[in-house]
Structure 1
Amino acid sequence: MSPPLPSLASLKNKTILQVVPEMATGGVERTTVEVASAIIEAGGRALVFSAGGRLVHELEALGAEHIFGEANSKNPWTVFVANVAKLAQIIEREKVDVVHARSRAPAWSALLAARRTKTPFVTTYHGIYNAKSGLKRWYNSVMARGDRVIANSGYTRDHVLAEHKINPTKIEVIYRGVDVDAFERQAVSDKRREELASQWGIPLESALPRAILPARLTAWKGQKVMLEALGILKRAGVEMDCLMVGDPQGRDVYRAELGQDIRRLGLEGYVHLVGHCNDMPAAFSLADFAVTPSTEPEAFGRTAAEAQAMGLPVIASDLGGARETVEDGVTGFLSPAGDGKALADCIGRLLALSPAETATMGAAGAMRVRSRFTTRSLQSATVSLYQRLVEP
């Protein structure tokens, strides 16, 4: 039984402006939509300033208002002059009560506009931004300059405090949320599963154990580490399927390298590079467990949480936010990052569990997500933060 949904604080007659580069598909954009929905439910008015994208229609269908602008520009004139003026005008015209920025370049514009208009300013530190120079550290620091700073995990919070030395009382951990109603195995129809399996050219039910690696195709997401692990297992006589679900996003060279590795390791027919997927609950329902073998720290680890919500055990890299989303030995396993042999060993441990033990692990993961990482929890905490800023 799921815990009761948290209630929302009142934002009656309050206007919240979220500023993001664009409304394409991604974690930042999805969170923007989720928070806009909560603002409206709480009685407020939700505005979003961005360069547009496929999620604008969904945003407007909720009753939010989208304002088009060059929020995705990194041109210094646009960032520090033109967008500042445009945002200040929007804040004054629409009587905005809180400005919330979710990415660095538009955050500079939003910060300056908020200071010019004396409007409370919030940032969300969504990722672990690399800083190899003083200039880059200064550029990143805008995400720690909010009157309140939201960190999407305890790991991110510790990074912000170490990197930017801000007052700890300004920062609040609000975990990324999972839509647990959507990521519920019982909510996925047989038709959705069949259509997706047919689209990918795979059997609905695999005769072999089937893993899913849900991540865009980029080196640090660890696809090559997974292939190394699968090669080790195959040489040891352990065969299994693997669905690599993710958009190459133009990285055709990297995708070709993965294809070469698949052939070199004799994994043709076992590993499926299926590309982008618009129905991730159905994708997870086709697998027995998930693997997120990132070689760099994830700020949170949304896909690991989504997989657990579906009742899948998860093997994740032992670093970053994954240490908070996956409980080692309880909801899955944590494996040393970048180590194909260690990952193969973890997969072997998981495959050695009895069906009852695997089911218990999956159920523990689902319970953990529903108690800690729901969309509703994110919405409630964010609306509460807004309410405290506008009605101290």
Structure 2
Amino acid sequence: MKAAFVTPGAFPVPSAMGGSVERVVEKVVPRLAPELDVVIYSRTGTGLTSRGELNYVPIERFPAVSKEKYFASVCRRLQRFRPNIIQVENRPKWVPRLKRRFPGCRVWLNLHSTTFISGSKLRKKERGRCLRAADRIFVNSDYLKSYILRNVPNTGMKIHVNHLGVEAFRFPGHSTFEGQALRAIGRVERGWVGRKIALFVGRLVPQKGVHHLLAAVPEIVAKHPDALIVIVGSALYGSHRTTRYARSLHRQAKAWRHHVHFQPYVSHNEIPRWFAMADLAVVPSIGNEAFGLVNVEAMAAELPVVATTAGGMKEIVLDGVTGFLVTKERPGIVRGLAERISELFGNEDMRYEMGERGRERVMNRFLWEHTAQRWLQLTRE
């Protein structure tokens, strides 16, 4: 069985700069290799050859000077490889085109978000045509499955939910010697010893809801004068460029500069160090988050998570068990964030218990090995 995985061409594989689609391919596909003949198709990147490999999986890379030239280059190599399965990552428009070019192949679509099936990217008629052309559709949450069914009925039989995962060993928690060491060293180096730290990790874009987190700071500080909100991320993957929204966040936090720290873009390889320094993680998203991988990473690091009910995040965080869920609607989101963060800051035992249950939930359900095995099981069927 031959399987080809076609990435969007936005970032190379592997890529320390992002994005999340390429990271999923990087972590899942090598775990399929023992049972399948697999090839990854990706764009070129600095320091990467046109042909390479990732854990013995071949990678074919092409310049992405335009979407059409990238797509054409991929198709030429697919003709040589002659796969049984072509899986398209997050680009539904490519599905019917690949079906026409490779009529003997099964073309599967792996959707990572609602972005490329929304009205701004895909009109209603074209959306139906693209999704119905796919032989199988993978989604990362029940929320995303429901979203598709509302917009494109009669596709339910081909949609399969496959939650994403994490490499748990990369995120040592407070119960491990490595986690304790990273926490102590990081806090000493930054002068944060004795602070209560709530950590946000993600892009600085409106749908991530950081402005609501900052609006909750006055109430949090009133109850916990030693509180520190650490915001890790930039507006764009792999870039320190600022945007109007990012600048507005800095202005919003100016009066609380002793309680808010902005850390520009940090590579994914460095993120575990920031989780180790934190007491809890905050995911205040207000957009249609299909999954929210940062929730799983925080839970792997034994952090309780305060997240909103946006999208598929309530499938990850168990309210009152591994963290707390708050409404994503205004004005309740600000009050909910302030109350739940303050509650966790004031109860160390609760933080530890929720963190341990979160880690246990990750080990039982949200490892990349689980994602790969579910994919293989569906292939066997």
TM-score, normalization: structure 1? 0.83
Give 1:371's match in structure 2, choosing from 358, 364, 379. Answer: 364
User: 2:163 is paired with a residue of what secondary structure?
Assistant: coil
1:323 maps to what in 2?
A: 314
1:254 maps to what in 2?
A: 245
1:8 maps to what in 2?
A: none
Pair 1:163 & 2:151 matched? yes
1:122 maps to what in 2?
A: 108
- How far residue 143 of structure 1 moved from its aligned partner, in angstroms, is 5.0
- How far residue 113 of structure 1 moved from its aligned partner, in angstroms, is 2.5
Distance 1:214 1:70, change over 3 A: same
Matched-pair contact (CA < 8 Å) for 2:95–2:109 = no
- How far residue 32 of structure 1 moved from its aligned partner, in angstroms, is 0.8
- How far residue 248 of structure 1 moved from its aligned partner, in angstroms, is 2.5
User: 2:53 is paired with a residue of what secondary structure?
Assistant: helix
2:88 maps to what in 1?
A: 101
Q: Output the CA distance in 2 between the equivalents of 1:160 and 1:365.
A: 29
Q: Output the CA distance in 1 between the equivalents of 2:126 and 2:190.
A: 46
Distance 1:56 1:334, change over 3 A: farther
Aligned residue pairs: how many?
361
Matched-pair contact (CA < 8 Å) for 2:305–2:322 = yes
Matched-pair contact (CA < 8 Å) for 1:71–1:83 = yes
Give 2:39's match in structure 1, choosing from 22, 43, 47. Answer: 47
Matched-pair contact (CA < 8 Å) for 2:30–2:54 = no
Pair 1:386 & 2:363 matched? no
1:293 maps to what in 2?
A: 284
Range with greater deviation from structure 2 (317-326 or 141-150) = 141-150
Q: Output the CA distance in 1 between the equivalents of 2:232 and 2:83.
A: 40
Range with greater deviation from structure 2 (284-293 or 126-135) = 126-135
Q: Output the CA distance in 2 between the equivalents of 1:134 and 1:92.
A: 28
Distance 1:120 1:247, change over 3 A: same
2:353 is matched by which residue type in structure 1?
A: T
User: 2:168 is paired with a residue of what secondary structure?
Assistant: coil
2:351 maps to what in 1?
A: 358
2:228 maps to what in 1?
A: 241
- The share of aligned pairs that are identical, in percent, is 24
* RMSD, matched Cα: 2.8
Q: Output the CA distance in 1 between the equivalents of 2:303 and 2:184.
A: 19
The 5 Å alignment of 1:153-192 reads 153-185=141-173, 186=176, 188=178
Give 2:259's match in structure 1, choosing from 266, 270, 290. Answer: 270
- How far residue 285 of structure 1 moved from its aligned partner, in angstroms, is 0.4
Matched-pair contact (CA < 8 Å) for 1:212–1:290 = yes
- How far residue 332 of structure 1 moved from its aligned partner, in angstroms, is 0.6
User: 2:360 is paired with a residue of what secondary structure?
Assistant: helix
- 1:167-197 CA-to-partner distances (Å, cap 9, x unmatched) read 3121110001111121232384677557755
Q: Output the CA distance in 2 between the equivalents of 1:290 and 1:322.
A: 13
Q: Output the CA distance in 1 between the equivalents of 2:351 and 2:120.
A: 46
Q: Output the CA distance in 2 between the equivalents of 1:193 and 1:139.
A: 50
Matched-pair contact (CA < 8 Å) for 2:108–2:135 = yes
